[in-house]
Amino acid sequence: MKSSHLFILFILLFLGVMVWTEYHLPKQFIWTPTFSRYDKQPFGCAVFDDVLSLSMPKGYSLSKETFYQISTNDTTSRRAILVVAQDIDLRQVDVAAVMRLVERGNKLILVASSFSSLLCDTLGFGVSYSYFNPSSLKRQASSMLLTRDTLQWVGDSTYTSQVYSFYSQLCAGFFVKSDSTFQMLANNRLTRREEIASHMLEMAKDSTGSKKRIVRRDSIDGSTTRSGAVVLSRKTGEGEIILVSTPLLFTNYGMLDGHNAAFLFRVLSTAKDLPLVRTEAYSVTAQGEQSPFRYFLSRPPLRWALYLTVIVSLLFMAFTARRRQRAIPVVRPPANKRLEFVQLIGTLYFQKKDYSDLVRKKFIFFAETLRKSLQINVENVDDDAWLAAKIATKTGMEEEAIHRFFVRIRPVLQEEFNVSEGQMRELIDEMNKIINHLKSI
Protein backbone atom coordinates (compact mmCIF):
# COMPACT_ATOMS: atom_id res chain seq x y z
CA MET A 1 0.00 0.00 0.00
CA LYS A 2 1.32 3.44 -0.92
CA SER A 3 2.29 5.95 1.75
CA SER A 4 -0.35 8.42 0.50
CA HIS A 5 -3.07 5.80 1.02
CA LEU A 6 -1.82 5.14 4.54
CA PHE A 7 -1.88 8.85 5.27
CA ILE A 8 -5.47 9.16 4.06
CA LEU A 9 -6.54 6.15 6.15
CA PHE A 10 -4.87 7.74 9.17
CA ILE A 11 -6.79 11.00 8.57
CA LEU A 12 -10.10 9.10 8.27
CA LEU A 13 -9.38 7.19 11.47
CA PHE A 14 -8.42 10.40 13.28
CA LEU A 15 -11.60 12.19 12.14
CA GLY A 16 -13.72 9.21 13.17
CA VAL A 17 -12.19 9.20 16.65
CA MET A 18 -12.76 12.97 16.95
CA VAL A 19 -16.42 12.68 15.93
CA TRP A 20 -17.03 9.76 18.29
CA THR A 21 -15.33 11.58 21.17
CA GLU A 22 -17.19 14.82 20.50
CA TYR A 23 -20.50 12.98 20.36
CA HIS A 24 -19.96 11.14 23.66
CA LEU A 25 -18.45 14.03 25.62
CA PRO A 26 -20.74 15.52 28.28
CA LYS A 27 -22.35 18.70 27.05
CA GLN A 28 -21.04 21.85 28.72
CA PHE A 29 -23.37 24.75 29.27
CA ILE A 30 -22.48 28.28 28.24
CA TRP A 31 -23.77 30.76 30.79
CA THR A 32 -23.42 33.89 28.67
CA PRO A 33 -26.78 35.70 28.28
CA THR A 34 -27.67 36.12 24.59
CA PHE A 35 -31.51 36.11 24.61
CA SER A 36 -31.27 34.76 21.06
CA ARG A 37 -34.05 32.78 19.41
CA TYR A 38 -31.42 30.28 18.17
CA ASP A 39 -29.58 29.77 21.47
CA LYS A 40 -30.49 26.61 23.40
CA GLN A 41 -28.08 27.37 26.24
CA PRO A 42 -29.55 28.33 29.66
CA PHE A 43 -29.67 32.06 28.94
CA GLY A 44 -30.80 31.87 25.34
CA CYS A 45 -34.45 32.02 24.29
CA ALA A 46 -34.94 29.04 21.96
CA VAL A 47 -37.02 27.04 24.47
CA PHE A 48 -38.61 30.22 25.80
CA ASP A 49 -39.87 31.16 22.32
CA ASP A 50 -41.08 27.63 21.53
CA VAL A 51 -43.15 27.43 24.73
CA LEU A 52 -44.69 30.87 24.25
CA SER A 53 -45.57 30.14 20.62
CA LEU A 54 -47.72 27.26 21.90
CA SER A 55 -49.04 28.97 25.02
CA MET A 56 -50.10 32.53 24.20
CA PRO A 57 -53.83 32.52 23.39
CA LYS A 58 -53.66 35.36 20.83
CA GLY A 59 -50.44 34.19 19.20
CA TYR A 60 -46.73 34.79 19.59
CA SER A 61 -44.20 35.99 17.01
CA LEU A 62 -40.64 37.31 16.73
CA SER A 63 -39.43 40.50 15.12
CA LYS A 64 -36.30 42.59 14.62
CA GLU A 65 -38.09 45.93 14.31
CA THR A 66 -37.40 48.83 16.65
CA PHE A 67 -40.14 50.70 18.48
CA TYR A 68 -39.96 53.45 15.88
CA GLN A 69 -40.40 50.97 13.02
CA ILE A 70 -43.30 49.25 14.78
CA SER A 71 -45.05 52.56 15.49
CA THR A 72 -44.73 53.75 11.87
CA ASN A 73 -45.41 50.49 10.01
CA ASP A 74 -48.75 49.79 11.70
CA THR A 75 -50.71 52.57 13.34
CA THR A 76 -54.02 50.74 13.81
CA SER A 77 -53.33 47.27 15.23
CA ARG A 78 -53.04 46.77 18.96
CA ARG A 79 -50.52 44.29 20.29
CA ALA A 80 -48.24 43.47 23.21
CA ILE A 81 -44.55 44.05 22.59
CA LEU A 82 -41.93 42.20 24.63
CA VAL A 83 -38.25 43.18 24.86
CA VAL A 84 -35.78 41.02 26.81
CA ALA A 85 -32.19 42.26 27.06
CA GLN A 86 -29.44 42.97 29.54
CA ASP A 87 -29.57 46.67 28.71
CA ILE A 88 -32.36 48.50 26.90
CA ASP A 89 -30.66 51.60 25.56
CA LEU A 90 -33.33 53.77 23.96
CA ARG A 91 -32.71 57.03 22.15
CA GLN A 92 -35.04 60.00 21.94
CA VAL A 93 -36.81 58.68 18.84
CA ASP A 94 -37.34 55.29 20.52
CA VAL A 95 -38.71 56.81 23.72
CA ALA A 96 -41.11 58.94 21.69
CA ALA A 97 -42.20 55.82 19.79
CA VAL A 98 -42.75 53.99 23.10
CA MET A 99 -45.08 56.71 24.33
CA ARG A 100 -46.98 56.75 21.01
CA LEU A 101 -47.45 52.97 21.09
CA VAL A 102 -48.77 53.04 24.64
CA GLU A 103 -51.09 55.96 23.89
CA ARG A 104 -52.64 53.93 21.04
CA GLY A 105 -53.52 51.04 23.36
CA ASN A 106 -50.48 48.76 22.98
CA LYS A 107 -48.87 47.03 25.93
CA LEU A 108 -45.09 47.13 26.32
CA ILE A 109 -43.22 44.64 28.51
CA LEU A 110 -39.64 45.86 28.98
CA VAL A 111 -37.41 43.31 30.70
CA ALA A 112 -33.84 44.42 31.44
CA SER A 113 -31.33 44.85 34.24
CA SER A 114 -30.68 48.46 33.19
CA PHE A 115 -32.57 51.06 31.20
CA SER A 116 -31.47 54.21 29.43
CA SER A 117 -31.49 57.33 31.58
CA LEU A 118 -33.78 59.01 29.02
CA LEU A 119 -36.47 56.37 29.54
CA CYS A 120 -36.00 56.49 33.34
CA ASP A 121 -36.44 60.26 33.38
CA THR A 122 -39.45 60.15 31.06
CA LEU A 123 -41.35 57.53 33.08
CA GLY A 124 -40.00 58.49 36.49
CA PHE A 125 -38.29 55.38 37.84
CA GLY A 126 -34.82 54.22 38.85
CA VAL A 127 -33.20 50.79 38.82
CA SER A 128 -30.27 49.44 40.81
CA TYR A 129 -27.10 48.37 39.04
CA SER A 130 -26.66 44.60 38.89
CA TYR A 131 -23.87 42.58 37.31
CA PHE A 132 -24.30 38.93 36.41
CA ASN A 133 -21.37 36.73 37.43
CA PRO A 134 -21.60 33.11 36.20
CA SER A 135 -18.95 32.00 38.72
CA SER A 136 -21.01 33.29 41.61
CA LEU A 137 -24.07 31.50 40.27
CA LYS A 138 -22.15 28.21 40.08
CA ARG A 139 -20.82 28.64 43.62
CA GLN A 140 -24.28 29.40 44.93
CA ALA A 141 -25.83 26.47 43.05
CA SER A 142 -23.20 24.05 44.38
CA SER A 143 -23.41 25.38 47.95
CA MET A 144 -24.98 23.15 50.57
CA LEU A 145 -26.80 26.14 52.08
CA LEU A 146 -29.06 26.54 49.02
CA THR A 147 -29.73 30.18 49.82
CA ARG A 148 -32.13 31.80 47.41
CA ASP A 149 -33.90 35.12 47.05
CA THR A 150 -37.64 35.22 47.29
CA LEU A 151 -39.75 37.02 44.72
CA GLN A 152 -43.30 37.68 45.79
CA TRP A 153 -46.19 38.31 43.47
CA VAL A 154 -48.07 40.81 45.61
CA GLY A 155 -51.40 40.17 43.99
CA ASP A 156 -53.61 41.87 41.40
CA SER A 157 -57.09 41.54 39.97
CA THR A 158 -56.19 38.22 38.32
CA TYR A 159 -53.79 36.37 40.65
CA THR A 160 -53.43 36.10 44.41
CA SER A 161 -50.18 36.55 46.27
CA GLN A 162 -47.55 33.92 45.54
CA VAL A 163 -43.90 33.40 46.53
CA TYR A 164 -41.15 32.16 44.17
CA SER A 165 -37.52 31.42 45.03
CA PHE A 166 -34.61 32.04 42.67
CA TYR A 167 -30.85 32.23 42.89
CA SER A 168 -29.85 35.73 43.88
CA GLN A 169 -27.66 36.16 40.78
CA LEU A 170 -30.77 35.81 38.60
CA CYS A 171 -32.81 38.48 40.38
CA ALA A 172 -30.22 40.89 41.77
CA GLY A 173 -31.72 43.93 40.06
CA PHE A 174 -34.61 45.89 41.52
CA PHE A 175 -36.26 49.28 41.21
CA VAL A 176 -35.01 51.72 43.83
CA LYS A 177 -37.64 54.34 43.12
CA SER A 178 -40.77 54.72 41.03
CA ASP A 179 -43.37 57.31 40.25
CA SER A 180 -46.66 57.14 42.13
CA THR A 181 -48.37 56.24 38.87
CA PHE A 182 -46.64 52.85 38.91
CA GLN A 183 -48.26 49.82 40.47
CA MET A 184 -45.95 47.21 41.98
CA LEU A 185 -46.80 43.67 40.89
CA ALA A 186 -43.81 41.78 42.37
CA ASN A 187 -40.93 42.55 44.70
CA ASN A 188 -37.83 40.93 46.15
CA ARG A 189 -38.65 40.11 49.76
CA LEU A 190 -35.04 39.35 50.71
CA THR A 191 -33.54 42.49 49.21
CA ARG A 192 -31.04 43.69 51.79
CA ARG A 193 -32.17 46.89 53.44
CA GLU A 194 -28.62 48.14 53.88
CA GLU A 195 -28.07 47.88 50.10
CA ILE A 196 -31.26 49.82 49.39
CA ALA A 197 -30.42 52.38 52.05
CA SER A 198 -26.94 52.89 50.66
CA HIS A 199 -28.29 53.39 47.17
CA MET A 200 -30.94 55.81 48.33
CA LEU A 201 -28.41 57.81 50.37
CA GLU A 202 -26.27 58.22 47.25
CA MET A 203 -29.27 59.50 45.32
CA ALA A 204 -30.48 61.85 48.08
CA LYS A 205 -28.56 65.15 47.68
CA ASP A 206 -29.40 68.70 48.53
CA SER A 207 -30.31 71.28 45.92
CA THR A 208 -26.66 72.30 45.36
CA GLY A 209 -25.56 68.70 44.93
CA SER A 210 -22.56 69.27 47.18
CA LYS A 211 -23.65 67.33 50.27
CA LYS A 212 -25.69 64.19 50.84
CA ARG A 213 -28.85 64.57 52.82
CA ILE A 214 -29.12 62.43 55.96
CA VAL A 215 -32.08 60.08 55.64
CA ARG A 216 -33.65 58.64 58.76
CA ARG A 217 -33.71 54.86 59.00
CA ASP A 218 -37.42 54.70 59.69
CA SER A 219 -38.15 56.54 56.43
CA ILE A 220 -35.95 54.05 54.59
CA ASP A 221 -37.72 51.13 56.23
CA GLY A 222 -41.03 52.49 55.10
CA SER A 223 -39.94 52.51 51.45
CA THR A 224 -38.00 49.26 51.47
CA THR A 225 -40.75 47.09 50.08
CA ARG A 226 -41.48 49.48 47.27
CA SER A 227 -37.78 50.02 46.55
CA GLY A 228 -37.26 46.26 46.12
CA ALA A 229 -39.85 46.00 43.35
CA VAL A 230 -38.94 43.80 40.40
CA VAL A 231 -42.16 44.22 38.36
CA LEU A 232 -43.88 47.58 37.91
CA SER A 233 -46.94 48.48 35.86
CA ARG A 234 -48.12 51.86 34.63
CA LYS A 235 -51.26 52.77 32.72
CA THR A 236 -50.63 55.40 30.05
CA GLY A 237 -53.33 56.48 27.62
CA GLU A 238 -55.16 53.38 26.46
CA GLY A 239 -52.13 51.13 26.93
CA GLU A 240 -49.81 49.91 29.63
CA ILE A 241 -46.07 49.68 30.32
CA ILE A 242 -44.73 46.78 32.39
CA LEU A 243 -41.15 47.08 33.65
CA VAL A 244 -39.26 43.98 34.82
CA SER A 245 -35.74 44.05 36.31
CA THR A 246 -34.97 40.29 36.05
CA PRO A 247 -34.19 39.50 32.37
CA LEU A 248 -32.32 36.24 33.17
CA LEU A 249 -35.61 34.69 34.28
CA PHE A 250 -37.12 35.26 30.81
CA THR A 251 -34.83 32.68 29.22
CA ASN A 252 -34.64 28.94 28.70
CA TYR A 253 -33.50 28.52 32.31
CA GLY A 254 -36.43 30.45 33.73
CA MET A 255 -38.91 28.59 31.54
CA LEU A 256 -37.56 25.18 32.65
CA ASP A 257 -37.06 26.04 36.32
CA GLY A 258 -39.83 23.91 37.75
CA HIS A 259 -42.88 25.69 39.14
CA ASN A 260 -41.08 29.05 38.94
CA ALA A 261 -42.09 29.30 35.27
CA ALA A 262 -45.46 30.38 36.61
CA PHE A 263 -43.84 33.67 37.57
CA LEU A 264 -43.09 34.36 33.90
CA PHE A 265 -46.63 33.56 32.84
CA ARG A 266 -48.04 35.86 35.51
CA VAL A 267 -46.02 38.71 34.03
CA LEU A 268 -46.96 37.79 30.45
CA SER A 269 -50.61 37.28 31.36
CA THR A 270 -50.93 41.06 31.52
CA ALA A 271 -50.92 40.88 27.71
CA LYS A 272 -53.04 37.76 27.25
CA ASP A 273 -55.79 39.67 25.46
CA LEU A 274 -53.38 40.85 22.70
CA PRO A 275 -51.04 39.10 20.25
CA LEU A 276 -47.53 39.07 21.74
CA VAL A 277 -44.50 40.12 19.67
CA ARG A 278 -40.94 39.77 21.00
CA THR A 279 -38.50 42.06 19.24
CA GLU A 280 -34.77 41.39 19.25
CA ALA A 281 -33.86 44.85 18.01
CA TYR A 282 -32.33 45.80 21.36
CA SER A 283 -30.50 42.58 22.21
CA VAL A 284 -26.82 41.88 21.59
CA THR A 285 -27.53 39.26 18.93
CA ALA A 286 -29.70 41.68 16.97
CA GLN A 287 -26.99 44.32 16.86
CA GLY A 288 -24.71 41.87 15.07
CA GLU A 289 -26.78 40.24 12.32
CA GLN A 290 -26.36 36.49 12.19
CA SER A 291 -24.21 35.21 9.37
CA PRO A 292 -25.33 32.27 7.19
CA PHE A 293 -22.67 30.06 8.82
CA ARG A 294 -23.98 30.87 12.28
CA TYR A 295 -27.46 29.90 11.15
CA PHE A 296 -26.06 26.66 9.70
CA LEU A 297 -24.34 25.88 12.99
CA SER A 298 -27.54 26.55 14.92
CA ARG A 299 -29.42 23.74 13.13
CA PRO A 300 -28.09 20.19 13.76
CA PRO A 301 -28.87 18.83 10.24
CA LEU A 302 -27.30 21.86 8.56
CA ARG A 303 -24.39 21.76 10.99
CA TRP A 304 -23.60 18.13 10.13
CA ALA A 305 -23.97 18.91 6.42
CA LEU A 306 -21.39 21.67 6.83
CA TYR A 307 -19.05 19.35 8.74
CA LEU A 308 -19.35 16.66 6.06
CA THR A 309 -18.65 19.22 3.34
CA VAL A 310 -15.46 20.31 5.11
CA ILE A 311 -14.37 16.67 5.62
CA VAL A 312 -15.02 15.78 1.97
CA SER A 313 -13.11 18.87 0.86
CA LEU A 314 -10.13 17.87 3.02
CA LEU A 315 -10.21 14.34 1.65
CA PHE A 316 -10.38 15.64 -1.90
CA MET A 317 -7.38 17.86 -1.25
CA ALA A 318 -5.46 14.95 0.28
CA PHE A 319 -6.20 12.65 -2.67
CA THR A 320 -5.34 15.23 -5.32
CA ALA A 321 -2.33 16.76 -3.54
CA ARG A 322 0.12 14.12 -4.80
CA ARG A 323 1.91 14.84 -8.06
CA ARG A 324 0.55 13.07 -11.10
CA GLN A 325 2.55 12.21 -14.26
CA ARG A 326 0.96 13.67 -17.30
CA ALA A 327 0.41 11.38 -20.25
CA ILE A 328 3.15 11.93 -22.82
CA PRO A 329 1.48 12.55 -26.17
CA VAL A 330 2.64 10.54 -29.21
CA VAL A 331 4.23 12.98 -31.66
CA ARG A 332 3.93 11.63 -35.17
CA PRO A 333 6.28 12.87 -37.90
CA PRO A 334 4.63 15.25 -40.35
CA ALA A 335 3.29 13.40 -43.37
CA ASN A 336 4.62 14.26 -46.84
CA LYS A 337 1.66 15.69 -48.67
CA ARG A 338 3.54 16.87 -51.74
CA LEU A 339 2.59 13.90 -53.90
CA GLU A 340 -1.05 14.19 -52.89
CA PHE A 341 -0.95 17.90 -53.66
CA VAL A 342 0.55 17.30 -57.09
CA GLN A 343 -1.98 14.62 -57.85
CA LEU A 344 -4.78 16.92 -56.75
CA ILE A 345 -3.57 19.79 -58.94
CA GLY A 346 -3.03 17.42 -61.89
CA THR A 347 -6.53 16.01 -61.44
CA LEU A 348 -8.00 19.52 -61.48
CA TYR A 349 -6.19 20.42 -64.70
CA PHE A 350 -7.11 17.11 -66.28
CA GLN A 351 -10.76 17.54 -65.42
CA LYS A 352 -10.70 21.00 -67.04
CA LYS A 353 -9.24 19.48 -70.26
CA ASP A 354 -6.66 22.29 -70.38
CA TYR A 355 -3.79 20.14 -71.63
CA SER A 356 -1.71 23.02 -73.00
CA ASP A 357 -1.63 24.80 -69.62
CA LEU A 358 -0.63 21.54 -67.91
CA VAL A 359 2.27 21.21 -70.37
CA ARG A 360 3.38 24.78 -69.57
CA LYS A 361 3.30 24.10 -65.81
CA LYS A 362 5.35 20.94 -66.32
CA PHE A 363 7.84 22.85 -68.49
CA ILE A 364 8.39 25.40 -65.68
CA PHE A 365 9.39 22.55 -63.35
CA PHE A 366 11.53 21.04 -66.18
CA ALA A 367 13.33 24.35 -66.84
CA GLU A 368 14.06 24.84 -63.10
CA THR A 369 15.56 21.33 -62.90
CA LEU A 370 17.88 21.96 -65.89
CA ARG A 371 18.88 25.36 -64.51
CA LYS A 372 19.99 23.80 -61.23
CA SER A 373 21.69 20.76 -62.79
CA LEU A 374 23.25 22.12 -66.00
CA GLN A 375 23.25 25.90 -65.37
CA ILE A 376 21.46 26.50 -68.68
CA ASN A 377 18.30 28.44 -69.38
CA VAL A 378 16.01 26.35 -71.57
CA GLU A 379 13.47 29.19 -71.64
CA ASN A 380 15.86 31.03 -73.99
CA VAL A 381 14.35 30.61 -77.48
CA ASP A 382 17.28 32.10 -79.41
CA ASP A 383 19.21 28.90 -80.14
CA ASP A 384 17.45 25.58 -79.53
CA ALA A 385 20.20 23.73 -81.43
CA TRP A 386 22.83 24.88 -78.89
CA LEU A 387 20.55 23.89 -76.02
CA ALA A 388 20.00 20.46 -77.56
CA ALA A 389 23.74 19.95 -78.01
CA LYS A 390 24.47 21.02 -74.42
CA ILE A 391 21.81 18.73 -72.96
CA ALA A 392 22.87 15.82 -75.20
CA THR A 393 26.46 16.23 -74.07
CA LYS A 394 25.43 16.02 -70.39
CA THR A 395 22.79 13.28 -70.64
CA GLY A 396 24.15 11.14 -73.50
CA MET A 397 20.88 11.38 -75.40
CA GLU A 398 20.55 11.96 -79.15
CA GLU A 399 20.95 15.63 -79.97
CA GLU A 400 18.44 15.39 -82.85
CA ALA A 401 15.69 13.97 -80.61
CA ILE A 402 16.20 16.75 -78.05
CA HIS A 403 16.14 19.40 -80.79
CA ARG A 404 12.86 18.02 -82.19
CA PHE A 405 11.37 18.16 -78.64
CA PHE A 406 12.18 21.87 -78.29
CA VAL A 407 10.78 22.62 -81.72
CA ARG A 408 7.49 20.90 -80.84
CA ILE A 409 7.06 22.51 -77.41
CA ARG A 410 7.92 26.11 -78.27
CA PRO A 411 4.53 26.90 -79.93
CA VAL A 412 2.73 25.43 -76.93
CA LEU A 413 4.72 27.56 -74.48
CA GLN A 414 3.97 30.70 -76.48
CA GLU A 415 0.25 29.84 -76.49
CA GLU A 416 0.20 29.61 -80.25
CA PHE A 417 -0.86 25.99 -80.35
CA ASN A 418 -3.16 23.76 -78.31
CA VAL A 419 -2.31 20.12 -77.81
CA SER A 420 -4.49 17.08 -77.38
CA GLU A 421 -4.35 14.60 -74.54
CA GLY A 422 -2.06 12.30 -76.47
CA GLN A 423 0.30 15.10 -77.41
CA MET A 424 0.36 16.24 -73.77
CA ARG A 425 1.42 12.78 -72.67
CA GLU A 426 4.19 12.65 -75.33
CA LEU A 427 5.62 16.07 -74.35
CA ILE A 428 5.52 15.32 -70.62
CA ASP A 429 7.13 11.92 -71.20
CA GLU A 430 9.97 13.61 -73.15
CA MET A 431 10.59 16.04 -70.29
CA ASN A 432 10.55 13.18 -67.73
CA LYS A 433 12.95 11.22 -69.93
CA ILE A 434 15.51 14.07 -69.98
CA ILE A 435 15.15 14.56 -66.18
CA ASN A 436 15.64 10.85 -65.53
CA HIS A 437 18.84 10.85 -67.60
CA LEU A 438 20.11 13.79 -65.52
CA LYS A 439 19.44 11.90 -62.27
CA SER A 440 21.34 8.85 -63.53
CA ILE A 441 24.54 10.81 -64.18
pLDDT tens column, 204-222? 444 334 333 333 333 333 3
Residue 16 neighbours by CB under 8 Å, 6+ apart: none
Say if 179 falls within a structural domain: yes
pLDDT(223) > 60: no
Q: Confidence class of residue 18 from pLDDT cuts 50, 70 and 90?
A: low
Say if 203 falls within a structural domain: no
DSSP type of residue 86:
S
Same domain, 317 and 170: no
Same domain, 350 and 283: no
H or E element in which residue 53 lies: helix 46-55
Same domain, 305 and 263: no
Same domain, 245 and 358: no
Residue 399 three-state SS: helix
Same domain, 54 and 180: yes
Burial 39-60 (b: 16+ CB within 10 A, else e): bebbbbbbbbbebbeeebeeeb
Please state whether beta strands 114-115 and 276-279 pair in parallel, antiparallel, or not at all (unpaired).
unpaired
Q: How many CA atoms lie within 13 A of 349 on its CB side?
A: 17
Same domain, 352 and 272: no
Among residues 267, 278, 273, the alpha carbon closest in space to that of 242 is found at 267
Same domain, 272 and 141: yes
pLDDT(258) > 50: yes
Does the predicted TM-score (pTM) go above 0.85?
no
How many other C-beta atoms can be found within 10 angstroms of the C-beta atom of residue 333?
Answer: 5
Same domain, 426 and 347: yes
Say if 209 falls within a structural domain: no
Say if 116 falls within a structural domain: yes
H or E element in which residue 188 lies: strand 182-188
Say if 207 falls within a structural domain: no
The predicted structure's pLDDT at residue 232: 93
> What is the mean pLDDT of the segment spanning 33-62?
91
The CATH number covering residue 34 comes to 3.40.50
Higher pLDDT, 379 or 432: 432
Span 275-291, pLDDT tens digits: 999 999 988 754 444 55
Residue-number span of the structural domain to which 409 is assigned: 338-439
Helices and strands, counts by H and E, the chain: 18, 13
Same domain, 161 and 183: yes
Give the total number of structural domains in the chain: 3
Say if 53 falls within a structural domain: yes
Say if 12 falls within a structural domain: no
Q: How far is CA 438 from CA 56, 237, 371, 426, 427, in A?
A: 115, 126, 12, 19, 17
The predicted structure's pLDDT at residue 225: 40
pLDDT(261) > 90: no
Please say whether the beta carbons of 11 and 314 come within 8 A.
yes
Say if 326 falls within a structural domain: no
Same domain, 242 and 155: yes
pLDDT(175) > 70: yes
Q: How far is CA 321 from CA 316, 317, 333, in A?
A: 8, 6, 36
> What is the mean pLDDT of the segment spanning 416-428?
85
What percentage of the chain reaches a pLDDT higher than 70? 78
Span 59-116, pLDDT tens digits: 999 999 999 999 998 888 899 999 999 999 899 999 999 999 999 999 999 999 999 9
Q: Confidence class of residue 352 from pLDDT cuts 50, 70 and 90?
A: confident
Same domain, 108 and 177: yes
Same domain, 135 and 246: yes
